[in-house]
Structure 1
Amino acid sequence: MNRKVKTHIVIDGNAFYEIDEECMRQKMENEQKKIQKKQRELQKKRPELEDRQENEKSKE
């Protein structure tokens, strides 16, 4: 299989970097999935936390 590799070069002072765009895209997708997973977990916990707060307020 002949795959066209897309890269770009970054020069920072004396440092030289070659960035693989496909790798960076996959990394960004994985980070986005992690963020979405955490958001779903927090949304599930939110009603539990609100109930706990209501119970504490009613005890006062």
Structure 2
Amino acid sequence: MNTTSTNPRVLLGAILGIPTVIALMLLAFAAPALHSGAKDLPWRSAVPRPPSRRSPGC
């Protein structure tokens, strides 16, 4: 009895099906990230303001 033979259709389905499912799953999670995010927000600098006067200890 030969137990190592596999139906070629099953093998082809696995070779083509598994990467297709993985690609669809990646697209399902990546597509919302491409179309979301902050839009039309004013650009501001993250640098602190310079001090208005020198401190007495300097």
- TM-score normalised to the size of structure 2? 0.50
More helix by share: 1
Q: Which fold has the larger relative contact order, with Cα–Cα distance below 8 Å and residues 6 or more apart in sequence?
A: 1
- TM-score normalised to the size of structure 1? 0.48
More strand by share: 1
Q: Which has the larger radius of gyration?
A: 2
